[in-house]
């Protein structure tokens, strides 16, 4: 497992960090055998696993279940996402929620946004729990942002994001996700930090990348975001397999003799 120190060391050595999301035991076992550095149990799991419309519907119960399933399948460093408003209802409730994600098997937690989270991020890191920040497109704030769109295109927005990244580092974050922002801005932010900036839709000059596993495996058939690279056509592979299975069943090709049990002669 990559240790918390290795995130910074990798940045110092200019070695990129690869992170994938993961939400279940079986996939976690495969990720475990891969060379991917680290796993994020993202609140995107509410959409990919529970079919919710957005991450606003994420609950602590969902995130704890997903995190514990992943933790059973991998020994990689696991970052557990804190769901919508789970850190905004007072210190005690926040810490109980962080505790639940850590007990489920996370090695760190991720919190979206800076404004209003300053005190809590400091408290969590002072409690010995690594925190990953997340700025740019923060889907939990979608109603405020007004759509899934690139952030920091305007000079004023870009300045705000640069300052937020520096503030998050000062508060003790070990890493920051930069989601959907112009390449030049992501590059400037990454260069201004000692901790690694991990991009998603933020171009090639960040210190690493994170991607939703369903997107990279091509499991989502709908139009993909520009930044997504499909490493396989999972949707059609699964669909073809299901259709082949169906036709084998209806044409008596499945199960075959070697796939069947027989009485033993006495």
**Interacting residue ranges for ligand KIV, rule: CB under 6 A:** 21, 42-44, 81, 177, 179, 200, 210, 212
Strand segments (E) across 61-107: 77-81
The CB-of-85 to ligand KIV minimum distance in angstroms stands at 15
Query: Of all residues in this chain, which one has the CB nearest to ligand KIV in the complex?
Result: 42
87 in Cβ contact with 117 (< 8 Å):
yes
Q: Which is nearer to ligand KIV, 44 or 97 (CB)?
A: 44
Please give the Cα distance from 13 to 153 (Å, whole number): 30
Cβ(108)–Cβ(85) under 8 Å? no
Q: How far is the CB of 127 from ligand KIV (least distance, A)?
A: 22
Least separation in angstroms between residue 200's CB and ligand KIV is 5
Pick 73 or 136: Cβ nearer ligand KIV: 136
Tokens of 50: 């529970």
Which residue among the candidates 61, 179, 184, 222 is catalytic per the annotation? 179
> Nearest approach, Cβ of 174 to ligand KIV (angstroms)?
15
- The rounded distance, in Å, linking the Cα atoms of 77 and 4 is 8
Instruction: Using the minimum distance from each CB to ligand KIV, give the nearer residue, 44 or 190.
Output: 44
Closest to ligand KIV by CB, 198 vs 255, is 198
Does residue 208 contact residue 198 with C-beta atoms inside 8 Å?
yes
Active site residue 179: yes
DSSP 3-state helix, strand, coil percentages of the chain (rounded to 5)?
45, 15, 40
- Helices 91-103 and 118-126 cross at an angle (nearest 10°) of 50
Q: 160: cis peptide before it, omega within 30°?
A: no
Indicate which residues carry an active-site annotation.
179
């Amino acid at each position: 497992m990559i240790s918390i120190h290795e995130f910074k060391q990798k940045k110092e050595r200019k070695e990129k960090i690869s992170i994938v999301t993961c939400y279940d035991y079986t996939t976690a076992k495969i990720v475990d055998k891969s060379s991917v550095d680290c796993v994020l149990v993202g609140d995107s799991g509410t959409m990919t696993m529970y079919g919710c419309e957005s991450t606003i519907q994420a609950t602590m119960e969902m995130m704890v279940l997903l995190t514990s399933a992943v933790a059973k399948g991998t020994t990689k460093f696991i970052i557990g996402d804190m769901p919508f408003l789970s850190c905004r209802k007072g210190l005690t409730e926040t810490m109980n929620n962080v505790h639940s994600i850590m007990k489920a098997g996370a090695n760190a937690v991720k919190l979206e946004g800076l404004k209003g989270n300053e005190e809590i991020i400091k408290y969590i890191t002072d409690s010995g729990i690594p925190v990953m920040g997340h700025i740019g497109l923060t889907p939990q704030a979608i109603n405020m942002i007004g759509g899934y769109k690139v952030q920091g295109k305007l000079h004023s927005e870009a300045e705000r994001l640069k300052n937020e990244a520096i503030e998050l580092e000062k508060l003790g974050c070990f890493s920051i996700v930069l989601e959907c922002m112009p390449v030049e801005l992501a590059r400037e932010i990454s260069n201004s930090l000692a901790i690694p900036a991990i991009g998603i839709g933020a171009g090639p000059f960040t210190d690493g990348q994170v991607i939703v596993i369903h997107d990279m495996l091509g499991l989502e058939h709908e139009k993909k975001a520009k930044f997504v690279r499909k490493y396989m056509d999972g949707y059609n592979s699964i669909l073809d397999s299901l259709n082949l299975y169906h036709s084998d069943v209806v044409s008596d090709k499945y199960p075959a003799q070697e796939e069947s049990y027989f009485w033993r002669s006495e």
